[in-house]
Structure 1
């Protein structure tokens, strides 16, 4: 069976993905739909997993409130993971800021 030869500079045909951010491709690094779905899955997955853990502990210990604490912990954990993966930050890809944070050039002329 002949081996396929690769020419340098020719793309392999596979889309490149950003390994640090699941669900976000390198071509569309600003996120968009994929980032939204990743945030949604982190939050819903956290709520489901930690609610089930809380439900199990409630069953073992005969309480009723741990399932709610688990759901809250799962939601907070999902937001935390989304933030740590950079999915919830607003990014400006052009490199320019919308409004300057430095003092205005006119000095104190507009001060009251």
Structure 2
């Protein structure tokens, strides 16, 4: 059988540049995709969970509208969670936010 474990000597002699750059390149290429999947999961998960809660309350109380309220509440809650986790904000390719956060990069200031 093939042993997937590396010895500590093999790990220490491996180039840290190649391993580090491979990890960084992998993280940068699919960050938007992972954030999109997370937002989708929060929203769909919220709709499913709160719809099931609404369905249970509908059956308990003999109504038919609480399931719809639960679906809307779940969608709003999922979007809120994804926004609070910073998944819905736009980011530049370097990972910084688009908002101004300091002096301009060209050296001009707005002070008079």
TM-score (norm 2): 0.62
Q: 1:62 to 1:40 in 2, by over 3 A?
A: same
Q: Residue by residue, what CA displacement relative to the aligned partner does 1:34-67 show, whole Å, maximum 9, x if unpaired?
A: 2112111211111011101101100110112211
The aligned counterpart of 2:12 is 8
1:79 Cα deviation after fit: 0.6
Question: Number of paired residues?
Answer: 95
Distance 2:101 2:70 in 1: 42
Deviations for 1:52-95, whole angstroms, at most 9, x for unmatched residues?
Answer: 11011001101122111111110011112211222111122264
Cα deviation 1:2-59 (Å, max 9, x = unaligned) = 9741233746x8x86xxxxxxxx97128831221121112111110111011011001
**Structure 1 unaligned regions, length at least 5:** 17-24, 108-112
Gaps of 5+ in 2: 104-108
Matching of residue 60 in structure 1 with residue 72 in structure 2: no
